[in-house]
Amino acid sequence: MTHRHRFPQVYRAEQPRPIAFYWWKYRLSLRPVSAAEEELDGEVETEVLFKPEECSQRSKRGDLINAHYDGFLAKDGSQFYCSRTDKDGQPQWFVLGVGQVIKGLDDGMMGMCPGEKRKLTIPSTLAFGEKGKGPVPPNATVVFEVEVLSVSKGPRTMEAFGRMDLDKDKSLSKAEVKEYLKLEYEKGGKPRDDPFYEKLIDDIFYKNDGDRDGVISAKEYNIYQHDEL
């Protein structure tokens, strides 16, 4: 199946990227291997490579995504990134639709099921634009092969903050965040062990506990300064 989605042709390379609740350091965009060098002129071309028969939850803006991805240059098929070989080879975490990855990935990974694989051909206007980045040259069309491993609700609203704030002191402790995450993963049928949660929580607090007082305040949590993403 191949679908084309139209998006504005505006490249926002100079627009500051928001820091989301799960602000993982692996922000370098995800990329697959695909087609021609010619520009898609503001479109993301989506090809579904595999889709599970059962899909309990589809990804949407604000969800926490765990995924593997490979990035290639469309011009010659050369690979410029692979999450399976980068650093410790772990799948990457990011919040979908808030600018933690390139616009083409934010758009092209909407509506994915856990276990689904897609090939996304992304024009430069929705990737690295006129300047390029690292091994990606200026004005380059890129291809990402993406595999989503899990989709869970990202706690980005103040309503979610209230559910996590068990003692109602308007701040989140590590224990409160851990309890929330455990419930979310168990609800999704994917419970994890304690080391998984501890690693995730350490990263959350490192990126969001700005004053290093051991808790995340309502102000630190609601970085968008409004209730919804």
Give the model's pLDDT for residue 188: 66
Please choose, from the candidates 149, 178, 147, the residue with its C-alpha nearest in 3D space to the C-alpha of residue 164: 178
In the block, which residue shows the tokens 């694989």? Answer: 117
Could you tell me the CATH number of the domain that includes residue 179?
Answer: 1.10.238.10
Give the model's pLDDT for residue 215: 93
Q: Is residue 213 part of a domain?
A: yes
Q: Is residue 105 part of a domain?
A: yes
User: Domain boundary residue among 152, 186, 202?
Assistant: 152
Based on its alpha-carbon atoms, the radius of gyration of the chain, rounded to whole angstroms, reads 18
- Report pTM: 0.58
User: Domain boundary residue among 119, 152, 185?
Assistant: 152
Task: Identify whether residues 105 and 175 lie together within a single domain.
Answer: no
The string of pLDDT tens digits covering residues 149-200 is 988 876 556 677 888 899 999 899 999 999 988 887 787 677 888 888 888 8
Task: List the end-to-end C-alpha distance of the chain, in Å, as a whole number.
Answer: 30
194, 10 in Cβ contact below 8 A?
Answer: no
Per-residue confidence at 208, pLDDT binned at 50, 70, 90? Answer: confident
Task: Identify whether residues 141 and 67 lie together within a single domain.
Answer: yes
Task: Identify whether residues 132 and 177 lie together within a single domain.
Answer: no
Task: Identify whether residues 170 and 120 lie together within a single domain.
Answer: no
Q: Which domain holds residue 199?
A: 158-222
Per-residue confidence at 134, pLDDT binned at 50, 70, 90? Answer: very high
Q: Is residue 16 part of a domain?
A: no
The string of pLDDT tens digits covering residues 76-105 is 999 999 988 886 778 888 888 878 899 999
